[in-house]
Amino acid sequence: MNAVDPVPLFFLLGLTAGLLRSELRLPAAVYELVSMLLLLSIGLKGGAELARQPFGDLAVQALAVMVMGMLLPLIAFPVLRRIGRLPRADAASIAAHYGSVSVATYAVAAAYFASRQVAFEAHMPLLLAVLEIPAILVGILLARGLSRDLRLGTMAHEIFLGKGIVLLVGGLLIGWAAGPEGLAPVEPLFFDLFKGILALFLLEMGLITAAQFGSLRRHGLFLVAFGIAMPLFSSLIGATLGLALGLSLGGTAMLATLAASASYIAVPAAMRISVPEANPTLSLAVSLGVTFPFNILIGIPLYHALATRLFALTGGPSP
Amino acid sequence: MNATTRRLLTIVTEAALEQLLVKDLEALGASGYTVTDARGKGSRGTRNAAWGESSNIRVEIVCDAATAEAIAAHLQARYYAHYAMILFVSDVAVLRPEKF
């Protein structure tokens, strides 16, 4: 049988240590470095494959995924507003988190699929980068409307020059320019060490997640239910889109995972500046405290099964 | 020692605000500032600086009384409602008043 995958166990270790109030803590600089390495590895890996793809296909996929990124917050917003009875700014901010993506969830899924020899399209990191941004714009518009002063310059700076986007897109460009052979010398750092780096990152994520549980307890059941129901619903949309775009089984499962994941770095930073009246504790509690652990512990295998099921039902991607 | 009195303005706030804040300070006439990473606890909970979203900064500005007043008024109007921010002013002795 399969050996136990150690990567999620590091997350559980961090989570347990955090809940037991252990003194364990990754130094801030180490956390920064580890997340930089993850973003660059993912970017490089995708970039190296970009040159081999026909541009037309890529553009169609990127566009379709962008539309999905705008659609998801539009679906989440009324639910948060009506059923959750949240103030407008909070509902808009949480909706934006769920339209955008979590790179960490992507990384865990990539490791999961790799260890099961499930192949997925190598240019997935491009779709990951594309999905980060549209939801932020939709979230800001939902919160403020078009009329009020939007401070467009600051907003654009915050969105397009955030650390995550710069590293991810930078990695894609370097990978694309260097190609697979060119990247060989840096492979030991970025590719061979990927799982170890991911493990260290997840240890800290566990600690951060544990810190969200307190605020979750204060904000009640609705957020917990939303944090589980929303990714399940989004994964259906993602998987359907993957199938429609003619992605492979692994690619469809990955797109379902991307749709299901919720941002906790790019979106909170942008929302803090552009929608200051939204309570950041609320959106982080649900995206980090509920959805992130749900996705990496239960969601990814589930979305994999969902894609497998869809492929069995429809006989694979339409030609 | 030939000392002159100036105001020391200390702001403790969310790290997310650093770039906006620094721009404001320069526009309001601060000739310099010092930013340090900080962590602590206040009315908006613990800010343990474990990662970007929960880290704080402490900004210190030495300036004349009028500038200190202008900065304090601006920050109060612009940021107090929605951000974790505290600000306090004290008198300090400086040796080269023309610098501030």
Phi and psi at B33, nearest 5°, equal: -160, 160
Residue to mutate among A21, A272, A277, A287, with most B CBs inside 10 A, is A272
Is residue B58 domain-resident? Answer: yes
- Sort residue A189 into left (φ over 0), alpha (ψ -120 to 50) or beta: alpha
% residues pLDDT > 70 (chain A): 96
CA distance A54 to A34: 33
pLDDT score recorded for residue A317: 60
* CA-closest candidate to residue B72, choices B57, B54, B90: B90
Nearest by CB to residue B51, choosing from A28, A277, A281, is: A28
* CA-closest candidate to residue A11, choices A163, A159, A208, A167: A208
What are B4-49's pLDDT values in tens digits?
Answer: 999 999 999 998 899 889 999 999 999 999 999 888 887 776 666 5
| Structural domain containing residue B12 | 4-92
Cβ contact B50–A211 (<8 Å): yes
- Taking one residue from A and the other from B, the number of pairs with CB-CB distance under 8 angstroms is 41
| Structural domain containing residue A131 | 6-17+25-314
Is residue B35 domain-resident? Answer: yes
pLDDT at residue A262 tops 60: yes
Q: How many domains does chain B have?
A: 1
What are A210-241's pLDDT values in tens digits?
Answer: 888 877 877 778 999 999 999 999 999 999 99
Nearest by CB to residue A280, choosing from B51, B53, B81, is: B53
Task: Look up residue B38 and give its two tokens.
Answer: 């900080």
Model confidence at A1, pLDDT cuts 50, 70, 90, reads very low
Mean pLDDT throughout A233-262?
A: 96
Nearest by CB to residue A273, choosing from B16, B45, B52, is: B16
Mean pLDDT throughout A169-189?
A: 92
Mean pLDDT throughout A296-310?
A: 95
B18 close to B73: Cβ distance less than 8 angstroms: no
Phi and psi at A49, nearest 5°, equal: -90, -15
Is residue A92 domain-resident? Answer: yes
Cβ contact B53–A273 (<8 Å): no
A165 close to A39: Cβ distance less than 8 angstroms: no
Residue A162 to residues A37, A267, B15, Cα–Cα distance (Å): 16, 10, 14
Q: How many domains does chain A have?
A: 1
Cβ contact B51–A268 (<8 Å): no
The mean-pLDDT minimum among A101-115, A233-247, A267-281 falls in A267-281
CA distance A261 to A107: 11
% residues pLDDT > 90 (chain A): 64
Within its chain, how far is the Cα of A314 from the centroid?
27
A213 close to A275: Cβ distance less than 8 angstroms: no
pLDDT at residue A319 tops 60: no
Nearest by CB to residue B83, choosing from A25, A276, A284, is: A276
Is residue A319 domain-resident? Answer: no
CATH number at residue B48: 3.30.70.120
Model confidence at A49, pLDDT cuts 50, 70, 90, reads confident
Cβ contact A272–B49 (<8 Å): no
CA distance A221 to A211: 18
